[in-house]
Amino acid sequence: MSSPDTPVVRRLAAVLAADVVGYSRLMGQDELGTLSRLKGHRRELVDGAVAAHQGRIVKTTGDGMLIEFPSVTDALLCAAHIQRGMPARNADLPEERRIAFRVGINIGDLIIENDDIFGNGVNVAARLESIAPPGGICISGAVYEEVRDRIALSYEDAGEIVLKNIARPVRVYRVGLVDAVPPKAEPEGNRLPVAVPLPDKPSLAVLPFQNMSGEAESEYFADGMVEDVITALSRIDWLFVIARNSTFTYKGRAVDIKQVGRELGVRYVLEGSVRKAAGRVRISAQLIDAADGAHIWADRFDGNLDDVFELQDRIAESVAGAIEPKLRLAEIARSRRKPTDRMDAYDCFLQALANFHLMQREPNREAVRLLERAIAIDPNYTAAHALAALCYAFRKGQAWMDDRAAESAEGLRMARIALAAGYDDATTLYMGSLALAYLGGENETAAGLIDRALKLNPNLGAAWNLSGWIRVYLGDAATAIEHFGRAARLSPLDPIGYIFSTGSAFAHFVAERYEDTVRLADKALHEGPVFLPALRIKVAALGMLGRGEDARQEVERLLRLEPQLRLSTLHLAIPWAPALLARYAQGLRAAGVAE
């Protein structure tokens, strides 16, 4: 336990509490069998769902789990995925041996101590779980307000309920796992069922492919295959392709293709499955017209894992031909070189990519470790060097570095290796250029490199986002705002969209529009409550606005997350020109950050 003098660490997060219905009865009937089945459910269903939705398993008991998520959307999508997956896993068992979970979800200001979580937010989640039906989910009113317009499930208002040992009644909603039918007349506001206008050229979303391998460790392989297909298709300049982070919000969900088309603003949807076994891979894919649900094309590809890149090329060519047969003769103009011919190195890269997308400290560290292993196997693996450099840049931004000078130097080294060898690869260029700017302050060089990346592949939402950041470092507010807008359009449901909002907040600070800065920072912090750049720029803007009391409260919050923050080291946190850095320091100083 911490001493009385240790500062209390808090963060706003979603909490999922789950337990097994009738656990004592099941153990009494068949102790070993129940334990084995429960471990199998956790290993093959729960762990993958939690990782895919950016969750952290805080602790498990004999029959229960406590899981923390950065957003309530991720928490509910994860719970729905687990509860939908359980019936099939129980199908071959007699009813008296079936395992069912109850789930409760709440959001609250949590106390963090020794990687455990405490507080009323946790207690309410546990009480909600206790009143959920077998196989069901109960959520608090606070959660409902966040997800009602984002996740198309049915919600039954159970009214205000007095929960055991909870001081005040809690508004409770029971979640139905059958997707709700969107109403014919949409209410006003930014609701996902409202159709996004189609672009003026063919548009496509590639949904997460289903992992049919029967092993949880193959999940990253299926996800990586989809990401590579998206990247391949994105290089076609006449095709508008939705970014990976938006399409992966549908992972684990039973989706209506027409609704996906409306929500993402696309004409076509590609879905499929991957089966990997005994050194071979089978990829099944089908292309669907999102307007009427008609199947345009379907095919199956079998081959050795050594031929996986050729398979991806064949998929891209077939999809392009199905969308617009007249353009088949134009070929798919792609300059991507194969990342590596060594599949063991590629496996390490895919696992690292999965860890990086979690945007958490320890998974980031694990991603770097996996990339170092990939580079040891294949020293010429350009993409691995580029992703490692990007990992170091994010570590610096989140104050995760143990030795800032040494780790920044290592990230720069990785970036230079990648950029030297990957000048014709858009992904390598955008990852490496951001590291070059943020870790080395080489903003002008980075801007030129990322401009080349966008010419090579104008459909990379992540590249537009990072280009916006580089323009922020250069003090070009107008271009930065435009590029963040392009990123948001290419990836409208991105689970790390708070990074786009944060970048826009910085751009508005550059433009001296401080009220807009606070508004955008608040939007970012609502989605990513512990994203330090968003909190820093909000504090600076509040200081410039002279909102002393609001500023002091946010400074306290900031220093709980980043106690080492000082104005004297501010130049290490953002590669701004002296005039902009001085204004940033002025705002933080006015808010109460120490010299």
Under the banding of pLDDT at 50, 70 and 90, the label for residue 217 is low
Does 346 fall in a domain? no
Under the banding of pLDDT at 50, 70 and 90, the label for residue 473 is very high
Q: Report residue 39 CA to chain centroid gap.
A: 26
Q: Please check whether residues 465 and 561 belong to one and the same domain.
A: yes
Average pLDDT of the residues in 480-503: 84
pLDDT, position 589:
92
Q: Please check whether residues 262 and 374 belong to one and the same domain.
A: no
pTM reported for the whole predicted model = 0.56
Strand partners, 153: 179
Q: Round the average pLDDT of the chain to a whole number and report it.
A: 81
Does 3 fall in a domain? no
pLDDT tens sequence across 224-262:
777 777 777 777 666 788 887 788 888 877 778 888 888
Q: Please check whether residues 439 and 499 belong to one and the same domain.
A: yes
User: Is the confidence at residue 1, as pLDDT, over 50?
Assistant: no
Q: Please check whether residues 497 and 571 belong to one and the same domain.
A: yes
Q: Please check whether residues 234 and 368 belong to one and the same domain.
A: no
Average pLDDT of the residues in 388-392: 94
pLDDT, position 236:
67
Q: Please check whether residues 224 and 95 belong to one and the same domain.
A: no
Higher pLDDT, 511 or 351: 511
Does 13 fall in a domain? yes
Q: Please check whether residues 151 and 230 belong to one and the same domain.
A: no
Does 142 fall in a domain? yes
CA dihedral 273, 275, 276, 282 (to 10 degrees): -90
Query: How long, in residues, is the chain?
Result: 595
Under the banding of pLDDT at 50, 70 and 90, the label for residue 348 is confident
Does 54 fall in a domain? yes
Does 433 fall in a domain? yes
How many domains in the chain?
Answer: 3
Does 347 fall in a domain? no
Rounded Cα distance between 237 and 241, Å, is 10
Average pLDDT of the residues in 505-509: 95
pLDDT, position 286:
82
Under the banding of pLDDT at 50, 70 and 90, the label for residue 163 is confident
Q: Please check whether residues 145 and 220 belong to one and the same domain.
A: no
Q: Please check whether residues 413 and 511 belong to one and the same domain.
A: yes
On whether the CB atoms of residues 590 and 539 are closer than 8 A, the answer is no
pLDDT, position 519:
94
Under the banding of pLDDT at 50, 70 and 90, the label for residue 183 is very low
Residue 256 belongs to what domain range?
203-330
pLDDT, position 213:
73
Q: Specify the amino acid at residue 287.
A: L
Which CATH number characterizes residue 249's domain?
3.40.50.10610
Rounded Cα distance between 48 and 544, Å, is 45
Q: Please check whether residues 360 and 471 belong to one and the same domain.
A: yes
On whether the CB atoms of residues 137 and 125 are closer than 8 A, the answer is no
Does 196 fall in a domain? no
Q: Please check whether residues 127 and 230 belong to one and the same domain.
A: no
User: Is the confidence at residue 440, as pLDDT, over 80?
Assistant: yes
Q: Please check whether residues 170 and 207 belong to one and the same domain.
A: no
Which CATH number characterizes residue 21's domain?
3.30.70.1230
On whether the CB atoms of residues 234 and 270 are closer than 8 A, the answer is no
Rounded Cα distance between 281 and 274, Å, is 7
User: Is the confidence at residue 412, as pLDDT, over 90?
Assistant: yes
pLDDT tens sequence across 6-33:
556 778 889 999 999 888 888 888 888 8
Question: Taking the chain, what is the end-to-end CA distance rounded to the nearest angstrom?
Answer: 32
Which CATH number characterizes residue 428's domain?
1.25.40.10
User: Is the confidence at residue 311, as pLDDT, over 70?
Assistant: no
Strand partners, 60: 65
Under the banding of pLDDT at 50, 70 and 90, the label for residue 215 is low
Higher pLDDT, 103 or 279: 103
User: Is the confidence at residue 115, as pLDDT, over 90?
Assistant: no
